[in-house]
Structure 1
Amino acid sequence: MSARLPVSVVIPCLRDELPLERLLGQLRQAERDGGPPLQIIVVDAAASEPCQALCRRHGALWSPAVPCRGEQLRQGAALAEHDILWFLHADAELDGQPLAALRQAVSTGAAGGYFAFRFSGTPGWQGRLLERLVAWRNQVGVPYGDQGLFARRSAYYAVGQHAPWPLFEEVPLVEGLREHGDFRCIRQGLRVSPRRWQRDGWWRRACRNRLLALGFILGIAPTTLARLYAGKPRTGAMAAQGPTSGERP
């Protein structure tokens, strides 16, 4: 039964063509390995021709959008045709059989869920320790969008979708899904790129992320936090976007 449940995959993008090409290839390979057809929706905040061409090559629906991740995710969900919605960042990496695990979770009653936080490659002891800390955080807080959030369409709309914010847009969604029904963690199936932690420093980035989360808890507006996340004042569309679509606090 679970193997027949179709899935719509929503991927927000902002100049992420290189990792996106790998992800689209992995999704299509998973489809060829025996899964039913996937609907793949790429919501492109840059409205770029290279991204459009990439989507065309992989049979994905390309949709230009305003540069705000929450709005991108809502736009992608509105275009989805299937009952299961799976939200992925462009730099996500599939590991094993995530689609089978996702369908199994939904077919056995989950309203939604997420994948355990695992870095790709060999990030060393810092990465492994951060994985354990994030696992603890997920028990007392909110898993973020880089952990492959998924939901039944009915549950997604019942709890109000993603918030139309450039940062922390998944927080009210996750809180709503937990109240709505079974919100499940899938232990294996997705990997997160460690490139931003390696670039910024493992602990510097982790501490900065926690300070932003504290600011959100204290009521600082997500648009303000997005500007702080970017590291310098910005105006116009880029200020609205905040981090690129693959980045998470």
Structure 2
Amino acid sequence: MISIIIPTYNEEAATKAVLENISLNKNIEVIVVDGGSPDNTIKIAGAYPVAIIKSEKNRAGQMNKGGESAQGEILLFLHADCALEAGALEAAERAIAKGFIGGAFSQRINSGKLIYRLIESSGNLRAGIFKIFYGDQAVFVRKDIFLKLGGFDKVDLFEDVLFSRKLKRQGRLCLLNKRVFSSPRRWERQGILKTTFINWLLGLGFILGFSTVALKKFYYDLR
């Protein structure tokens, strides 16, 4: 069984859509881990057959809580503003059955703008070659491996990259052709070029060894 863990904070606009998308699948467990949303996120989630866990606001910590309480042999971490392509869960199960310990899905941003095709292509190329996955690619992993690694590092940024690095040392990873559809909202909010430039600077800072605390401050200073 696959357990889908969705970390949320003020996601009332996205929660219904993501849960409707997931509800099309059978024999799954869905866990919403909320970081103290003051909006109606929990109320909306409560209308669906999901487990709801309350947590402090920290995406890595929220995902860890969900992963630790999950009953499935496979964990899949899905952002609230994302949706899985039909057949994605079955593809993940087949990958695990073939001996992969985890992986992610190819990203598709929900917009017709051509620049998003470039962003997707570069991200999918990175993930395919280096097996470094971002959270909006819906990372999945065997639960026993997740527990062995102690889950995600509880940091302010790049918990997904750090987790990918740990995973690579444990076994084979894969990027599946099945897609995860993600919202363009963060690019649209600040502008595509500005957001891409900020992401590039943050990635460079991370590679150079700046702390995630410093990078988070830098990020909010630029917003």
TM bucket (normalised to shorter chain) is over 0.9
Partner deviation per Cα, 1:9-41 (whole Å, 9 max, x = no partner): 11111101111110001111223xxxx2x2111
- Counterpart in the other structure of 1:165: 155
User: Which secondary structure state, in structure 1, belongs to the residue aligned with residue 159 of structure 2?
Assistant: coil
Q: Is the 8 A contact 1:166 1:226 kept in 2?
A: yes
- Give the AA of the match of 1:129: L
- Counterpart in the other structure of 1:240: none
Q: Which has the higher contact order (CA 8 A, sep 6+)?
A: 1
The TM-score, its normalising length taken from structure 1, stands at: 0.83
Q: 1:120 to 1:49 in 2, by over 3 A?
A: closer
2:144 to 121, 146, 154: 154
| Percent of pairs with identical residues | 29
- Asked if 1:176 is matched to 2:166, the reply is yes
| Unaligned stretches of 5+ residues in structure 2 | none
User: Which secondary structure state, in structure 2, belongs to the residue aligned with residue 62 of structure 1?
Assistant: strand
Q: Is the 8 A contact 1:111 1:152 kept in 2?
A: yes
- Give the AA of the match of 2:80: A
- Counterpart in the other structure of 1:22: 17
Q: Distance in 1 between matches of 2:198 and 2:138?
A: 22
- Counterpart in the other structure of 2:182: 192
Q: 1:10 to 1:71 in 2, by over 3 A?
A: same
Count matched residues. Answer: 222
- Counterpart in the other structure of 2:195: 205
- Counterpart in the other structure of 1:104: 94
The TM-score, its normalising length taken from structure 2, stands at: 0.93
Q: CA RMSD in A?
A: 1.7
1:65 to 52, 55, 63: 55
| Unaligned stretches of 5+ residues in structure 1 | 1-5, 234-249
Q: Which has the higher strand share?
A: 2
Q: CA deviation at 1:48?
A: 4.1
Q: 1:9 to 1:119 in 2, by over 3 A?
A: same
Q: How does 1:20-59 map to 2 (within 5 A)?
A: 20-31=15-26, 36=27, 38-48=28-38, 50-59=40-49
Partner deviation per Cα, 1:95-141 (whole Å, 9 max, x = no partner): 2211111111111111000011211242x210111111112322246
- Counterpart in the other structure of 1:11: 6
